[in-house]
A and B are shown apart, each in its own frame.
Chain A
Amino acid sequence: MISAPPIAETVAGHAVGPKAAPTLRMRRSWRVFTFFSSAVLLTGLISWLFADLLGRTGWTLSAFILLGLFTVLVLLISVGCMQGVFGFVLRLTGDRRITRLKDYRGQSIQGVGTALVFPIYNEQVPRVCEGLRATYLSLQKTGLLGRFDFYILSDSSEPDKWVEEEQRWIELVKDLDALGRIYYRRRMINEGKKSGNIRDFLSTWGARYRYFVVFDADSVMSGETLVNLVKLMETHPQVGLIQTVPELVNAASLFGRMQQFANRLYAPIFITGLNFWAQGFGNYWGHNAIIRTEPFMQHCDLPQLPGARPFGGQILSHDFVEAALLLKGNWEVWLAYDLEGSYEEAPQTMIENARRDRRWCQGNMQHAMVVWARGLRGISRIHLAMGILGYLASPLWLFFLLTFNWMLWYEANTGLSIITVRPLTPFLKVNATQHALLIFAICMVMLFLPKVLALVDLARDATRRRAFGGIGHAILGATAETAFSTLHAPMQMLWHSQFVAASLLLFGVSWGPQKRTADGITWGEAIRQHWGHTAIGLAWGAAIWHLGHPAFWWFAPVLAGMASSIPVSVLTSRASLGQKVRGLGLFVTPEETAPPPEIAGLRARMAALKESGQTAPRPADAGLADAVLDPYVNAVHVSLLREKGQNPAYAQALADLGVGKPEVRTLCEKLLTEGPEHLRRTEKLLILSDAEVLPWLHRQAWLRPSGTLARWWQEQIRQHAR
């Protein structure tokens, strides 16, 4: 257990960050100006060419709309392209990093307390605990474990998950002999979702720690990286938050392995480019980041936004906003892109990926409100705007394609022949088709140049090259990944357009439980999720074919992605295919070639758990049965509940739930005599929240003659006696 003094820099009780020197500010502004101006310049030139093309056939309202949409979309591509180009050049010329290991290597962290927090919500519990174990063991090896405390912060709303979390936690604590080092707390009411969960932790224990590191449910970090992060914070007192760049690991499916490969191959140049203009004004991605507790508590308690959804209410994507608020308070936010040993996992299927995008899209759309907040730094507005445009780009692209189709249809149906005039640019001696092809080619170069540069960057580094299975395999992998992205992008366009519309028009997007086999999603599930995409692709294709064959071939890649969505979704979800292509040396990543000890250990433990059936879904109400019948689970659960009563906020939450009222005993009687299938989820949660009735239930379930208990209990008692 650690107690750290609060940081010293406070003014009238408010944590403030030191203001940057004028020269530093100028340098920062120059970087932002250079980077974005180059993107704007590139956009201007290509838009000029496009306008020229449109001008050759005469200006109409549709042409103006098309030009406007093209300009916005090309600007986004330009920013991405420039990020890749800047990153590549910086890596080539030896980037002057804002952090250097030798600057902080000797920094002591004695007396500095850091909490590692794992906010979870109905997650796969064994994976959470094994990720924590990997991090714990890695920290132990540094000899500085005593400087860190671990917290599993549960917001789970499923009764069975709650009990399972406690069971796995106590097993982990016993295994690691980590009593008083790894803690578990579940909130009674999950107000404010993840940001509320963190706030609750800070309000209860935050004052004990100078820093805290936020993990995701599937995050793992190496002990060395964690220690380096604390040292960095200690060396740079003006920094409020340092975000690491998590490396994707442990993918099994073909989709997951392609995403993982792309992340590991392209991220270095993109992130270096991003860091070029962001510098000390970076962003927060919600996890795998260290945060200075006091300024975070001071500035980052998020207010409710005025008005109704989709823009008003609770801020859903809290991370960008928290970074913006820290920057507003004159604290710096860094991107530690040169620190390795930070890992996370990615969705394994296209459908899971889209499901995650659905959540993020809603949060990013809400930032359209936050972006106007007074006092935010300009760079924070850029981060927020880019997040919004990342999702808005899809409907804009769809609108662009539809507008283009409208123009084709109009021309075909009016019977007017297209008369092209000379282009504006005198040296452009091309006909209209060649002109269009030239623009298309430039756009393709902008899209694919960063990928090519990433391969060149890889080719220059022998160690990395080997870690990717050799440059030949990396080129093949990048080509295959690009081909897949071409098919995936149109589906993303349709999905994101649906999500944006759903967010703005306040209707839900229903997913239902996902039907998976051990090897991936089922064909039935794919048909259920993608029939609309397929139908749109086929209908759209038929319509364009009807308009004219040349136009069809322009649209063929987009239409192919939609029409083939069902088989592509199924096949890319297959773990067996993922393994097969691995055997061919495709999509190999450094963490597959030479797994770091944390990841190797995690994989071995998860494989062992899978082998023993411990990762399989548990039967319904298994957690409730354990909490009542198992003498130890019952004791652990009740002990944790009793402790909650000592915190006034938790005691109030328990009272608000109805704990301690006579109705709970009535529910318990119903549970014993009729079984859990006759209780609602909230009623089971209420029973599990009552520290008085649970020992009584335990006693009654074992004491009462079998005949007086529901048949379900009799079966459960038989199982618990084995």
Chain B
Amino acid sequence: MNTSAHSDTPGTLAGRPLEEWNAAYSKVESYFHALRVRNKVLLGQLVALVLERAMQRSASEIQRSATELAVEEMDRLVNEWFAQVLEAPPAGAEMLSTRGRLALLLADMPGKWQDQFLRPGPWPSEFAVKMREMYLRAGPDFQLAKMTPRPLDLGPITTLTQMSRLPYFKMAASWVLFGLLLILLFYLTHHEP
């Protein structure tokens, strides 16, 4: 980090107390951690890069905290890099940020390409192609169709009036007859004359 331009009184950096920059450092480091940048050397370099940019704004924006400046710079730096890698047309920062983070995940930046993150181009073609081509979909192209429920005619009375048309009606009737026959036999054999 080039701090010579910002060195002033002891215990301060770019006109602010060291504790303030320490807090900013922590916040930026936290976000890169959340992006799964685990390599400590790379992490340190990236945080330093962000803080360098924040310190350059420090003198002119004295009313804002170092953390705010650092996080803003981090956001800007990451988005600028996304725009270059993705060769993205100018779009809203949030749209670009979402697309970029998704591309990082799908191209497996945390696993394979940590050293390429926020590095100026040219990038390895495999990485650049993966970043540009990866996209996420919940499904293939929609092929919309319409399902229309057919009403069920549930009228039991209607059905009962047409019992003879019911399937297996004859079979059921034969069982009923069999039951009646049992009752009849039972009555005849138990009935005292």
In the bound complex, do residue A636 and residue B105 qualify as a contact, i.e. CB atoms below 8 Å apart?
yes
In the bound complex, do residue A379 and residue B167 qualify as a contact, i.e. CB atoms below 8 Å apart?
yes
In the bound complex, do residue B98 and residue A634 qualify as a contact, i.e. CB atoms below 8 Å apart?
yes
Q: Complex Cα distance A381/B147, Å?
A: 25
- Beyond A373-B154, A647-B142, is A639–B186 a contact (Cβ under 8 Å)? no
- Beyond A208-B143, A632-B102, A699-B97, is A378–B153 a contact (Cβ under 8 Å)? no
In the bound complex, do residue B136 and residue A636 qualify as a contact, i.e. CB atoms below 8 Å apart?
yes
B189 within 8 A of A: yes
In the bound complex, do residue A202 and residue B30 qualify as a contact, i.e. CB atoms below 8 Å apart?
no
Distance between A197 CB and nearest chain B CB, rounded to angstroms: 13
- Beyond A424-B190, A630-B34, is A44–B182 a contact (Cβ under 8 Å)? yes
1/0 per position for A179-216, CB-CB distance to B under 8 A?
11001110000000000000100111111100000000
A residues near B68, Cβ cutoff 8 Å: 703, 705
B167 touches which one: A55, A370, A378, A698 (CB < 8 A)? Answer: A378
A residues near B140, Cβ cutoff 8 Å: 1, 149, 180, 183, 205, 208
Q: Complex Cα distance A644/B145, Å?
A: 16
1/0 per position for A34-70, CB-CB distance to B under 8 A?
0011001100100110011001000000000000000
User: Chain B at the A interface: mostly helix, strand, loop or mixed?
Assistant: helix
**Interface-located stretch among B9-17, B55-63, B119-127, B155-163:** B155-163
B152 within 8 A of A: yes
- Beyond A170-B105, A174-B108, is A204–B152 a contact (Cβ under 8 Å)? no
A653 within 8 A of B: no
B138 within 8 A of A: yes
B residues near A511, Cβ cutoff 8 Å: none
Q: In residues 654-705 of chain A, which contact B (Cβ within 8 Å)? A: 695-696, 698-699, 702-703, 705
Query: Chain A residue with minimal CB distance to B95?
Result: A695
B residues near A636, Cβ cutoff 8 Å: 102, 105, 136
Q: In residues 311-348 of chain A, which contact B (Cβ within 8 Å)? A: none
In the bound complex, do residue B190 and residue A55 qualify as a contact, i.e. CB atoms below 8 Å apart?
yes
B residues near A639, Cβ cutoff 8 Å: 98-99, 102, 135-136
B171 within 8 A of A: yes
In the bound complex, do residue B146 and residue A372 qualify as a contact, i.e. CB atoms below 8 Å apart?
no
In the bound complex, do residue B97 and residue A695 qualify as a contact, i.e. CB atoms below 8 Å apart?
yes
In the bound complex, do residue A303 and residue B150 qualify as a contact, i.e. CB atoms below 8 Å apart?
yes
B residues near A369, Cβ cutoff 8 Å: 154
A297 within 8 A of B: yes
Query: Chain B residue with minimal CB distance to A41?
Result: B178
A306 within 8 A of B: yes
Q: Complex Cα distance A379/B166, Å?
A: 11
B35 within 8 A of A: yes
In the bound complex, do residue A305 and residue B139 qualify as a contact, i.e. CB atoms below 8 Å apart?
no
25 A-B pairs, CB-CB below 8 angstroms? A41-B178, A174-B106, A183-B139, A184-B138, A185-B139, A205-B143, A206-B145, A299-B150, A303-B150, A369-B154, A373-B152, A373-B153, A379-B167, A630-B34, A632-B104, A639-B99, A640-B136, A643-B137, A702-B71, A703-B72, A703-B75, A720-B33, A720-B34, A721-B30, A721-B34
A635 within 8 A of B: yes
The 8 closest A-B pairs by CB, nearest first: A378-B167, A721-B30, A695-B94, A635-B101, A301-B147, A303-B149, A635-B102, A374-B153
B142 touches which one: A37, A48, A299, A646 (CB < 8 A)? Answer: A646
A residues near B144, Cβ cutoff 8 Å: 203-204, 207, 647-649
Total of A-B residue pairs, C-beta within 8 Å: 181
Distance between A685 CB and nearest chain B CB, rounded to angstroms: 18
Q: Complex Cα distance A696/B139, Å?
A: 26
A5 within 8 A of B: no
B31 within 8 A of A: yes
Query: Chain A residue with minimal CB distance to B71?
Result: A703
User: Chain A at the B interface: mostly helix, strand, loop or mixed?
Assistant: helix
Q: How many B residues touch A, CB cutoff 8 Å?
A: 63
- Beyond A51-B186, A179-B106, is A717–B30 a contact (Cβ under 8 Å)? yes
B residues near A370, Cβ cutoff 8 Å: 152, 154
Q: Complex Cα distance A469/B158, Å?
A: 56
Q: Complex Cα distance A372/B153, Å?
A: 8
Q: In residues 360-408 of chain A, which contact B (Cβ within 8 Å)? A: 369-370, 372-375, 377-379, 381
Distance between B70 CB and nearest chain A CB, rounded to angstroms: 10
Q: Complex Cα distance A149/B139, Å?
A: 9
Q: Complex Cα distance A224/B23, Å?
A: 58
What 19 new A-B contacts, CB under 8 Å, besides A202-B147, A370-B152? A36-B171, A44-B182, A52-B186, A149-B140, A203-B144, A205-B139, A205-B143, A207-B144, A303-B150, A372-B155, A373-B153, A374-B155, A631-B35, A638-B98, A702-B31, A718-B30, A720-B33, A721-B29, A721-B30
In the bound complex, do residue A635 and residue B155 qualify as a contact, i.e. CB atoms below 8 Å apart?
no
A297 touches which one: B30, B147, B166, B174 (CB < 8 A)? Answer: B147
Distance between B127 CB and nearest chain A CB, rounded to angstroms: 16
In the bound complex, do residue B151 and residue A203 qualify as a contact, i.e. CB atoms below 8 Å apart?
no
A151 within 8 A of B: yes
Distance between B77 CB and nearest chain A CB, rounded to angstroms: 14
With most chain B CB atoms within 10 A of its CB, the pick from A29, A369, A370, A631 is A631
Q: Complex Cα distance A32/B65, Å?
A: 83
In the bound complex, do residue A377 and residue B167 qualify as a contact, i.e. CB atoms below 8 Å apart?
yes
B33 touches which one: A44, A203, A721 (CB < 8 A)? Answer: A721
- Beyond A632-B105, A721-B29, is A372–B156 a contact (Cβ under 8 Å)? yes
A residues near B178, Cβ cutoff 8 Å: 40-41, 44
